[in-house]
Structure formats: C-alpha cells, structure tokens
Amino acid sequence: MKKTGAWLATYALEQIGARFTFGIPGVHTTELYDELHNSKQITPVLVTHEGGGAFMADAVSRLSDSIGVLTVVPAAGLTHASSGIGEAFLDGVPMLVISGGPRTDSQHQFQLHQMDTHKFMSGLTKATFHVSSHEQVVPTLFEAYAIATSGEPGPVFVELPVNILLYTGEVSDLPRYVTAPPEPVGFEQEILRAVELLRNAKRPCLFVGWGTRDASEQVKAVADWLEAPVATTLQGLSAFPANHPLHVGFGFGASAVPAARNAFKDCDCLFAIGTRFSEIATGSYGIEVPENLIHIDINPKTIGANYPAKVGIAGDAARVLDQLLKALETAGPRRAVQPALRAQIRSDKEAYRQAWYKNDIINRVNPARFFDQLRIQTPDNGIIVIDDGNHTFLTAELMPIHCAKSVILPTDFNCMGYAVPAAIGAKLSNPDRVVQTIVGDGAFLMTCMEILTATSNNLGVIYYVFHDGELSQIAQAQEIPYNRKPCTQIGQVNLEGVALATGAVFVPMQDNDAIAGAIRRANEIACTGRPVIVDVRIDYSKRTAFTEGAVKTNFRRFPLTQKVRTLARALTRRVTG
C-alpha cells in the first residue's frame, strides 16, 4: 500500500494513545498538520510559541495516561522548544519531539532550516532518530515512544524529512503498537536487607520524590507500618498527602521547615524512594544522611551518586514497594502509633503558621493567609501548576497538598516561564479538574501571551500572579550577602492590560481582606471556560525556610578566605549604606 509519511505518523501517534500535539505549523509540517486535522483521536493545538508548546506537552505527560507530543519545524521550532524539552529531560518526563526536516531527495545545500538537529537534540533527549523511508515511519515512532516511557522517562526526538511527509511511499503493513510486558522485579535479597534495616531502626524516616507519583498508596502503607515521618522532594510535593499525621513537609535538612527538621533529627535509617538527591531536593546538599540509607530509584545511575546507599534497588517504585510491604508483613508486626511524634509534627506545623500570621503588612497579601484560603476553596484533586521563583518555596511550605499527581513544577532544569503554558496542558488533559497556577511576575512575563491559547480553547485556568515588581528569589539571595539587589527590578507591568490582550478576565487582590472574595470570583469565572488573571499583591518580606537555609548552607561550603571576603563586604555595605 502507498501512504504519505504524514498519514503514517498520525497513524502511529493514534496507536500509542496520543491525544494532543502542540506546535506551530511551518512549511516542513503542513502535510502533517493536515493529517492531524483529520484524526478523530488527536487534537492539534496551536500555540503562540514553541517553548510554550513544550511545557504543555510536559504537563500532558505528567498528569495523564497519554504522552505529550510536539510537532514543530526544524531549527527555529526546535530551538524555541528546547527549554521545555530540557525541563522534561532533567525532570524525567516522557515526550515525543517530532519535527519536519529538510528534503533528502534534493542535491541542494543550505535548505531552509537546515542544521544538525540531532547534534543539537542529543544533549536534551534520550535518543534521536532520522527517518529515511516511509517503511521506517511507524516502527521508528513506536520505538521512540517505548524509549521515552521506559526506565527513567524522558523526551525522544524524531526527524521526518518534508519529502517523506508530503509524498506517498510503499509500506508493507501497518503494525499495531503492543506494550511490552513488565520485567520481573527481582531484588529479593536487597528487599530482605532493607526490611532488616527498617525493622532494627529506632527512628526510620521516608524521603519520597516524583518517582513515587504512581505509588502513593504503597508509600502511605509503608509509612503507617513503620510509623515513620515522611518528607517529600519539591517535585514530589503531591507524593504524600499533607493531611496525613506523618507528613512533615518539603525536604528535611537545614533548608526545611521545623516540622521536618525536628522529625528527621534522630533519623537512623533513611528510606529514599523515587528521588535523585538533587540540589533543590536536598537544600543545596545541606542534608545529613545516616549510614543506613535505603535508596530506590528507577535509574540505577542515581543510586549512591550523591550519598552512599547501604541498600540500593533500581526499579519501579510501586512494584518494589509492593514486594517490600509483603516482606515487612512477613517479618513481624507493625510499629505502634507514636502519639508524641505525631503531636510534635502537628505542633511544629502550627507554630510555623503562626510565625507567618504575625507578619501582616498593610496593603499586601500575607502568603500564609492566601494559601489558607486557597486550600479551603480548592478541591483535593485540584491541580496546581507552580513556576520557578520565591513563590515556589512559599507554595511548598504553606500550601497543603492532599492528592497524588495534583502538583507539577519545574525542578532540575528549573525553567522560569513554565507555569502559564503547562497549566494549559494540564487543563486540556484534565478538563473536569480545577487547574490553578502560582506564578511570580517575572516568570509570568516570559510566557503570559500563551494565555491566548487558553482563551482560544475555552480553558478556565486561573493564574495567581504574585506581583511584587522584582525577581524576588534572586533578590533575596543577593540582599543577604551583598546588601543590594542589582538587575532584579522588573518594569511596571499592567496585568489588567495582559488580561485584555489575551481575552482573560482580570481580578485584583490588593490585601488580606480581598483574598477570599477574589479566589471565589476567580473560581466562578473559570467555570465558564474563561482564563483568569488574579493580581496578587504579595508580601515577600518574610523569607522562606528554604531560602534562609540554602544561603547558609552554601556559605558554609565557602573556603575560609571567601567567607571572610563575603562577610567583610556585607558588613561594609551595611555600615556605609
């Protein structure tokens, strides 16, 4: 049979369950977009910038059973999208990156968009493919999907030359995609050693990350069995419910909130699951890990990379935990509930909240009061998309998350501008769930015009813009050692004007008295299918535990001469003004 490459690519995407593609059509992809338009399963979404499209695809992969797909032109389309591809790569998120390509049936050089896209994409993806015949289109996309979703997930790049997309070619058959059966778990001896360490520990503790997003029930069962406090990574905020009495917060070292620091203070066996112990997760490597470390992660390269593991298991968290729970039950009775531990966690959380309540400032919004009201008015399964900045850590410390896979944010690639478009991908793939973003004004300005895509698709996404006029996370990091904040002041922006330009509705939130009403109004408007921009006049005067802890941790690692220089400079500037 004869088919165009575009028809074959669409067929392959339907076979793997793709529901959306994101991108901007160009001369290399017109035929592909024409075929996608014919699909009854796939909706091609036009974005305002390919970078936004990549973040949308990222969110689809994180929050649904479908993979996010980019369909872009080569060169400029790929370079624009690279930030979102890189975020997916470092965060372990599957994605298919499909671009058109220069003609392979032409003898001419210097074609439009002609560059070595594979050299460019090789550092941002798990694999790259160049399709050279119609017969290769479907098998290549199947293989790309398998690579993207297996092991530690990540993006995979496929180049489809424009002549293959446009022209018909002979193919022998149309295979169906068949999911490979899961490999046996194994690790029986390692699991028995882990159980022995956990049962002999006086104060076992759990540290869980994004890798446990599909194992929340197993994590809760292990925590309850061991009566162990649980801290999460930043990306794993929703991996363990904050309304569980053993939940202590984000992180557990010098940069963590008091509930986590106190609960982990005497930890003699750390059970880490689905985390790489990366820089943000560890508060710039400011945690102390006991000798008895049990580390489970799907990527074997992470085991012992930053902290030596007494027991290391490279496998899927849910399947390994299922086996470990059986071994725990066989080994003996569960630990008794420790009322003192639970009471201390509850008391520490309340005391931290009270410290924030005391920081009210006139004509500004207290972050703790904002998140209290947001929690009240948000269903447990509501999705929160967070950007990168000071608001990230405010959310992590002050917004209790109750439901698995209800928070997404950029972490290891740490890309500002993530939240606005990612929320669109979240809403497209979860139309029946409330989708809200927490985004600083600096990050908002990077991608705010993508709200037009939300308007065009009748998506009632709520954008809470923490508006203070500066890049506050960096400004605070500068102010402590430098006593000044160079190059962090943002130009005055009229958020109501952004709403007008993109078809969104503008809602002001000037002070604490306006919090409840503004959130209520935003929810009502979003239910009609219109995006909402809420201008939150946030008070950033109080620093998060993470910011203070990370600055101190980094300073302690300075050589003595650099410590002296930094302190002398800071003191001199404070004296001289």
Q: What are the pLDDT digits (tens) for 278-336?
A: 999 999 999 999 999 999 999 999 999 999 999 999 999 999 999 999 999 999 899 99
Q: Which residues pair with 507 in a beta bridge?
A: 534
- Structural domain includes residue 354: no
The reply to whether 529 and 404 lie within a common domain is yes
- Structural domain includes residue 561: no
At 455-507, the pLDDT tens digits run 999 999 999 999 998 877 777 777 777 778 788 788 889 999 999 999 999 99
- The larger pLDDT score, comparing residue 420 to residue 564, is at 420
- Structural domain includes residue 537: yes
Cβ neighbourhood burial of 486 (10 Å; 0-12, 13-18, 19+) = exposed
Cα 372 → chain centroid: 23
The reply to whether 383 and 300 lie within a common domain is no
The reply to whether 199 and 287 lie within a common domain is yes
CATH number for the domain harbouring residue 223: 3.40.50.1220
566 pLDDT more than 90: no
Cα 452 → chain centroid: 23
Q: How confident is the model at residue 568 (pLDDT cuts 50, 70, 90)?
A: confident
Above pLDDT 70, what percent of the chain? 99
Torsions phi, psi for 269 (to 5 deg): -155, 115
The reply to whether 432 and 531 lie within a common domain is yes
- Structural domain includes residue 351: no
CATH number for the domain harbouring residue 140: 3.40.50.970
* Total number of domains constituting the chain: 3
The reply to whether 525 and 398 lie within a common domain is yes
At 100-139, the pLDDT tens digits run 988 878 777 777 667 799 999 999 999 999 999 999 999 9
Q: Which residues pair with 168 in a beta bridge?
A: 4
Give dist(CA 65, CA 62) in Å, integer.
8
The reply to whether 45 and 121 lie within a common domain is yes
The reply to whether 325 and 372 lie within a common domain is no
The reply to whether 29 and 137 lie within a common domain is yes
- Structural domain includes residue 182: no
Q: What's the pLDDT at 112?
A: 67
Q: What's the pLDDT at 488?
A: 79
Q: Which residues pair with 435 in a beta bridge?
A: 383
Region 553-563: what's the mean pLDDT? 81
Considering the entire predicted model, what is its pTM?
A: 0.94
Q: What's the pLDDT at 472?
A: 77
The reply to whether 163 and 193 lie within a common domain is no
At 56-79, the pLDDT tens digits run 999 999 999 999 999 999 999 999
The reply to whether 212 and 312 lie within a common domain is yes
Instruction: List the structure tokens of 393.
Output: 């850590």
Domain span holding position 493: 359-546
- Structural domain includes residue 53: yes
Q: What's the pLDDT at 485?
A: 79
576 pLDDT more than 80: no
- Structural domain includes residue 566: no
Tell me if residue 201 falls in helix, strand or coil.
coil
Q: What's the pLDDT at 564?
A: 76
Q: What's the pLDDT at 317?
A: 95
Across all residues in the chain, what is the average pLDDT? 94
59 touches 426 (CB < 8 A): yes
Give dist(CA 531, CA 204) in Å, integer.
45
158 contacts: CB under 8 Å, gap ≥ 6: 96, 97, 98, 99, 128, 129, 131, 140, 141, 144
Q: How confident is the model at residue 185 (pLDDT cuts 50, 70, 90)?
A: low
Give the end of a domain, one of 294, 319, 344: 344
Q: How confident is the model at residue 254 (pLDDT cuts 50, 70, 90)?
A: very high
The reply to whether 30 and 56 lie within a common domain is yes
- Structural domain includes residue 324: yes
Q: Which residues pair with 456 in a beta bridge?
A: none
Tell me which of 157-161, 280-284, 391-395, 403-407 is least confident.
Answer: 280-284
Give the end of a domain, one of 344, 368, 398: 344
Give the end of a domain, one of 344, 374, 395: 344
The reply to whether 317 and 277 lie within a common domain is yes
